[in-house]
């Protein structure tokens, strides 16, 4: 190529290389600053879309966990009340036997009935107080059900069925009654039905706990997967940053040398 003061090919090449280096340096600096190799759609549109969708899934799973935690709390409150009720029924059964063996109208019968009825009041209060977030499984009818989300799909539903029938039987058997109603057989029937419901509720509580643990593991796996897609290798980027900074300095020097070529031509005319 002919020597010319109008066209400086060397300077053009040096400038192109310097611009490329500056662009790469800007990308690396952004990765170091954000800790991410894909922080926007322009970095990698496909990866950015995947990561965004997975972040949305994680957010949805947070809502799922909240639903399951609410369901678990509803069941746990019912179980806590159930323990109190079960103990009261056990005592009532013993008192019922004592009432049946006592003399009608005796002081002993009166005392036993008073204790029996006091326990009945405790049962009534426990049944009414087993409420969490406005839901009481013992106060609901047998047709009521509480839907708990266990996943992000529409079909991912765990149903908590009310234990209203068993609660009604307990309330009837343990309520304030006279000698005719305070029978061991009546209390025994109510106790069996109620403990069966408690067993079912306990199974549901464990199932929700397992689902919560599983959902947490899924969230952790998704988070790791997102990190694999978008997180930058900071050790690698740090080394690259140093190399690009050095390359940029050399590029500036190369451009300066190329720009001095016209001065060399000027020397030919001296």
Domain membership flag for residue 43? no
Residues 77 and 136 in one domain: yes
**Structural domain count, the chain:** 2
Flag whether 40 is in a domain.
Answer: no
Please state the pTM of the whole predicted model: 0.72
Assess whether pLDDT exceeds 80 at residue 259: no
Same domain, 252 and 152: no
H-helix or E-strand spanning residue 160: strand 157-161
Cα–Cα distance for residue pair 50/149, rounded to 1 Å: 24
Residue 219 shares a structural domain with residue 242: no
Residue 52 lies inside a defined structural domain of this protein: no
27/107 same-domain check: no
Quick one: 97 and 224 in the same domain? yes
Query: Is residue 142 scored above 60 in pLDDT?
Result: no
Is residue 44 included in any domain, yes or no?
Answer: no
**Of 153 and 183, more confident:** 153
Residue 76 domain-assigned (yes or no): yes
Q: How confident is the model at residue 268 (pLDDT cuts 50, 70, 90)?
A: low
Is residue 54 within 8 Å of 222, Cβ to Cβ?
A: yes
- Concatenate the DSSP letters of all residues of 30-78 into one string: HHHHHSBS--STTT-HHHHHHHHHHHHHHHHHHHHHHHHHHHHHHHHHH
Q: For residue 63, is pLDDT > 80? A: yes
Q: Are residues 236 and 200 in the same domain?
A: no
Is residue 250 located within the same domain as residue 211?
Answer: no
3 state SS of 21: helix
What region does 151 belong to: left with phi over 0, alpha with psi -120 to 50, or beta?
A: beta
Does one domain contain both 224 and 237? Answer: no
Domain assignment of residue 41, yes or no:
no
pLDDT digits (tens, 9 = 90+) for 223-240: 999 999 998 888 888 888
Confidence of residue 176 (pLDDT cuts 50, 70, 90): low
For 34-59, the pLDDT digits (tens) are: 888 898 888 889 999 999 999 999 99
Residues 206 and 242 placed together within one structural domain of the fold? no
pLDDT band at 7 (very low <50, low <70, confident <90, very high): low
Q: Is residue 237 part of a domain?
A: yes
Percentage of residues in the chain with pLDDT exceeding 90? 26
Judge if 199 and 153 occupy the same domain.
yes
First to last CA, the chain: 23
Residue 270 in this model has a pLDDT that exceeds 80: no
Instruction: Judge whether residue 120 has pLDDT over 90.
Output: no
Q: Please write the tens of the pLDDT for every residue from 216-225.
A: 999 999 999 9
* pLDDT score at 181: 74
**More confident position, 66 or 12:** 66
Residues 259 and 210 in one domain: no
Q: Give the rounded percent of residues in the chain with a pLDDT score beyond 70.
A: 87
Contacts of 5 (CB under 8 A, 6+ apart): 262, 265
Report pLDDT for 17. Answer: 85
* Per-residue pLDDT tens digits for 77-105: 999 999 999 999 899 889 889 988 888 88
220 shares a domain with 241? no
Look up the domain containing 95 and give its range.
66-229
Q: Give residue 73's pLDDT.
A: 92
Q: State the pLDDT at residue 62.
A: 93
CATH number for the domain spanning 129: value is 1.20.1330.10
Establish if 51 belongs to a structural domain: no
């Amino acid at each position: 190529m002919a020597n010319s003061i109008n066209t400086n090919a060397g300077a053009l090449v040096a400038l192109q290389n310097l611009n490329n280096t500056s662009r790469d340096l800007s990308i690396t600096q952004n990765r170091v600053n954000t800790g991410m190799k894909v922080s926007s759609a322009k970095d990698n549109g496909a990866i950015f879309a995947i990561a965004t969708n997975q972040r949305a899934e994680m957010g949805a799973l947070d809502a799922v966990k909240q639903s399951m935690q609410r369901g678990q709390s509803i069941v746990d409150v019912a179980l806590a009340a159930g323990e109190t009720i079960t103990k009261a029924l056990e005592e009532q059964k013993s008192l019922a036997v004592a009432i049946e063996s006592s003399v009608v109208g005796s002081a002993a019968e009166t005392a036993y009935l008073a204790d029996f009825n006091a326990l009945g009041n405790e049962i009534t209060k426990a049944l009414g107080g087993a409420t969490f977030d406005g839901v009481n499984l013992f106060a609901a009818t047998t047709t009521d059900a509480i839907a708990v989300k266990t996943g992000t799909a529409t079909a991912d539903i765990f149903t908590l069925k009310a234990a209203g029938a068993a609660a009604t039987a307990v309330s009837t058997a343990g309520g304030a009654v006279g000698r005719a109603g305070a029978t061991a057989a009546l209390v025994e029937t109510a106790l069996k039905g109620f403990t069966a419901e408690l067993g079912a509720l306990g199974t549901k509580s464990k199932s929700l706990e397992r689902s919560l643990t599983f959902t947490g593991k899924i969230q952790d796996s998704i988070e790791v997967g997102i990190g694999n897609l978008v997180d930058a290798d900071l050790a690698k980027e740090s080394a690259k940053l140093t190399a690009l900074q050095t390359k940029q300095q050399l590029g500036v020097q190369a451009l300066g040398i190329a720009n001095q070529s016209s001065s060399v031509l000027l020397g030919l005319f001296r």
